[in-house]
Amino acid sequence: MDIILLGPPGAGKGTQAERLVADRGMVQLSTGDMLRAAVKAGTEVGLKAKAVMDAGELVSDEIVSAIIGERLDQIDHATGVIFDGYPRTRAQAESLDTLLGDRGRKLDYVIELEVDEDALVERITGRFTCAVCGAGYHDKFKLPKVPGTCDVCGSHEFKRRPDDNAETVRTRMVEYRAKTAPILPIYEARGLVRRVDGMADIDHVTQAIEAILDGKA
Ligand code: AP5
Ligand code: MG
Ligand code: ZN
């Protein structure tokens, strides 16, 4: 089963993908995570992407579709993929169709996380992750069980994203509204879109998504 998690910055795409990976053995393909890894490694892609990401704008369609294609080649047929933060433009949606079709895969659902934009700034500015394993946390909504210690790997090192400040978040929202939300009708026309209340608490959002994947919603 291949799905897209769609929603504005801070909607909970990464949080929910992490759960589906743990619960269902699916693979998360987050272009944001891949680009951040490229920036960290100082690759050619990373050098091109850094300033664009720091400004909250979108990296070029060619770059992201190429990195998604490379990763898809490493995933076997039986393993389901969660696309997190991709596609984000019409051109990317078209590329994804080709990338999947060429590999004999198809999309099963596009799950839209519906959220109230006012809540997103608080979610994003409070977010932090484990510097070692990448597990996601929040200052208010999801603190580690033992303060200062990662629940997953026990590390004591955490980090915050450079684009997680109030000003850049506004640009990211504008980009979402202008370029990403308009791809929903493409998937609506194919009957693939399912909506989930992304303002519910994290566990309830997971339950709602699982119900969709199990054909119970
Ligand atoms: P990307 O990394 O994709 O960032 P984003 O879309 O802005 O989304 P976020 O990761 O900020 O939010 P999320 O929905 O994953 O929320 P999370 O689960 O963490 O992209 C970053 C940049 O890379 C882009 O701006 C662009 O420059 C570039 N890029 C990436 N992909 C690209 C592409 N395809 N094309 C072009 N450029 C691309 O949740 C947020 C916080 O809220 C967490 O702390 C979490 O604990 C908390 N939380 C989650 N759910 C809930 C809940 N239900 N209740 C309370 N708190 C919650
Ligand atoms: Mg994310
Ligand atoms: Zn960790």
User: What contacts 185, CB < 8 A, 6 or more positions away?
Assistant: none
Would you state the pLDDT for residue 117?
Answer: 87
Q: Buried b / exposed e across 176-211, counting CB within 10 Å, b at 16+?
A: beebbeebbebbeeeebbbebebebebeebbebbbe
Atom of ligand 1 nearest to the CA of 128: 44
Q: Is residue 141 in contact with ligand 1, taking CB distance under 6 Å? A: yes
Would you call 86 exposed, middle or buried from its count of C-beta atoms within 10 A (0-12, 13-18, 19+)?
buried
- Residue 67: which of 101, 94, 29 has the closest Cα? 29
Closest ligand 1 atom number to CA of residue 88 = 34
pLDDT at 217: 79
Q: Which of 4, 30, 54, 59 to mutate to test the pocket of ligand 1 (most atoms within 8 A of CB)?
A: 59
| CB of 168 shorter than 6 A to ligand 1 | no
What distance in Å separates the CA atoms of residue 151 and residue 132, rounded to the nearest whole number?
A: 12
For residue 135, what pLDDT is reported?
93
pLDDT tens for the 217 residues of the chain, in order: 999 999 999 999 999 999 999 999 999 999 999 999 999 999 999 999 999 999 999 999 999 999 999 999 999 999 999 999 999 999 999 999 999 999 999 999 999 999 998 899 999 999 999 999 999 999 999 999 999 999 999 999 999 999 999 999 999 999 999 999 999 999 999 999 999 999 999 999 999 999 999 998 7
> Residue 13 C-alpha to ligand 1 middle, in angstroms?
6
pTM of the model: 0.95
pLDDT at 118: 85
Quick one: pLDDT at residue 189?
Answer: 98
- Sequence length of the chain is 217
Give the angle subtended at the CA of 17 by the CAs of 35 and 45, to the nearest 5°.
10
Token pair recorded at residue 187: 């998937």
Torsion angle of C-alpha atoms 24, 197, 183, 191, degrees rounded to 10: 70
